[in-house]
A and B are shown apart, each in its own frame.
Chain A
Amino acid sequence: MRAPGGSEVAVGDVLLSVESVSLSFGGVNAVSDVSFDIRKGEIRAIIGPNGAGKTSMLNVINGFYQPQQGRITFKGETRTKMRPYEAARGGIARTFQNVALFRGMTALDNIMAGRSLKMTKGFVWQLLRYGPAMAEEVAHRRRVEEIIDFLKIQEIRRTPVGRLPYGLQKRVELGRALAMEPELLLLDEPMAGMNMEEKEDMSRFVLDVNDHYGTTIALIEHDMGVVMDLSDRVVVLDHGIKIADGTPDEVKNNQAVIEAYLGVAH
């Protein structure tokens, strides 16, 4: 199923570009005049110290926040305002910094919820739970089981996610985003609060998703080792301003980045 609007983007071309976006909350600038792009098929990292505006940037991309200025072009379509619902329909999925799962539901139902947009059978059929709605339910369940296998969470399928340990919750959340079959996957600190082993697992999954499904990924991460290993290109924000943009090696040696992270004597 193709997402509505927009055209296909070839691997390596710009999938999403952010042009001089500014966002402020009652006089506090969260993001000021930031521009960068994300190319199809790459893993793009957004890094920066606390309060740099990384999550705000992600929220702008998936429509949670409406920037006061600037434009966003996704799959060749330029817009200034978009709602989360439209972003999701367009093929943008995301995870959250503090895991936002549907806590009362099982892992399976959480991931099934990710298929909401792909399931189209009407209200009445669903009320009857019969005919086309049943067939649809079965077909989507099959896809979800594939994702469950992919993420190796078969055993916890039926567990209410509120009871799962943090690392597994993060994995279920990734599964829910994958169930949307997104073109662009936004990961907000996918490895925050994890131990070394969990981080390695999650890194593996991120690479596999990129490789296996060809999904373009933009991720926010604090662990520099992880960022350097995973990402193709890195954009660095500090106090809402973009201070560097390039390959991990370029960014690592950039003076402004070193100062932002280590502080600088005035």
Chain B
Amino acid sequence: MHLLYMIFIDPFVQMGSAPDLLAQTLWEGLVGGMLYALIALGFVLIFKASGVFNFAQGIMVVFAALTFVGLNDVGLNAFLALGLTIVVMFGLAFAIERSVLRPLVNQPDIILFMATFGITYFLIGFGEFVFGGDPKVMETENLFLPKGSVTYHTLGGIVQLQKLDVAAVIVASVMVAGLAVFFSKTRIGRALRAVADSHSAALSVGISLEQIWVIVWFAAGLVALVTGIFWGARSDVSFALEIIALKALPVLILGGFTSIPGAIVGGLIIGVGEKLGEFYWGPLVGGGTDAWFAYVIALVFLLFRPQGLFGERIIERV
């Protein structure tokens, strides 16, 4: 009886009695969720265009962040370093298309999936070779990103927002909106959706698969760079970041593998759910819920909507 009370009643009593803490938790969940959403977005872009689940998205985040920090450390101006990193990410997209995707065209999806494991381990080795294995500090103030926090006295207590988090939410929102318009309204966007729907039909109207692949891997690389900068600024930049890719899985299960809005909403749900779970229900099991709670949320969702929130409805023809 006491246990049921602790699970179903007590957390909500706490939420009601300390709304400032609830607001703080929600905000932190939203910020974390935005970053999950960005990682998931990288997956969705590539999955839509080539049907490949890109295991390397996580390491691409690390690699982009490392390149940026590395160039910055050599003494380059932060914006020059940013520009160069973007060039490097384009080069990476180009190289992956040439050396991995093109030779494997028309192979089963599982082969391409395994190839992305190859890319992952290559990037880990190459990254360590060039930048070393030590964790690095992301210097965001060189990019004019704000530091410190603002405090609001509200809801009968205080709510504290990190300025960097606010910046992350704004930058991420702008980028997502930009990508959404780009992919829905322009020729290249149409071509991308065309490729996602039917390879052979896309080829027949003269859309070059190679070009589209480079563009989506590049877009995924840009998303990875932004993710890497903000995530790196919250902790530091190390190869351990790579496992955040696994956090994108529940987001994708929730949002559907092919939906950009799904990635965003899914990311926010997972982020908020995870924080709420950690703060209100975590003490019941002695904490440490952040390692697994996201998967539980995804699992519960799967029971009710196997195609995800926004995924295309699966209609089996018998």
Contacts and interface: CB of A to CB of B under 8 A. Distances in A.
A88 B205 CA distance: 6
Contacts of A133: 186-187
A114 B205 CA distance: 5
Contacts of B194: 102, 105, 113, 116
Contacts of B185: 129
B206 A116 contact: yes
B204 A105 contact: no
Contact of A100 (B193, B198, B206): B198
A112 interface: yes
Interface string B183-221: 001111111011011101111111110000001000000
Interface of B: 178, 181-182, 185-191, 193-194, 196-198, 200-208, 215, 312
A89 interface: yes
Nearest to A109: B190
A85 interface: yes
Given A101-B198, A116-B187, A129 B203 contact: no
Nearest to A62: B204
Interface string A88-128: 11000110100011111100010011111101010100110
B189 to A, nearest CB: 8
Contact of B190 (A89, A94, A113, A177): A113
A121 B186 CA distance: 10
B200 A85 contact: no
A94 B200 CA distance: 11
Contacts of B202: 102, 113
A100 B201 contact: yes
A64 interface: yes
27 contacts: A64-B200, A84-B204, A85-B208, A88-B204, A93-B204, A93-B205, A100-B198, A101-B197, A102-B198, A103-B198, A105-B193, A109-B190, A109-B193, A113-B190, A113-B205, A113-B207, A114-B205, A116-B191, A116-B194, A116-B206, A117-B206, A123-B188, A126-B182, A126-B187, A127-B178, A129-B182, A179-B205
A105 B203 contact: no
A115 B194 CA distance: 12
Nearest to A122: B188
Given A102-B197, A104-B312, 17 more contacts: A85-B206, A88-B204, A100-B200, A101-B201, A102-B193, A102-B201, A105-B197, A109-B190, A113-B191, A113-B202, A116-B205, A127-B182, A129-B182, A133-B187, A137-B186, A177-B204, A177-B205
A176 interface: yes
A180 interface: yes
The 5 closest A-B pairs by CB, nearest first: A88-B206, A100-B201, A102-B197, A84-B203, A126-B186
A176 B178 contact: no
B42 to A, nearest CB: 18
B201 A96 contact: yes
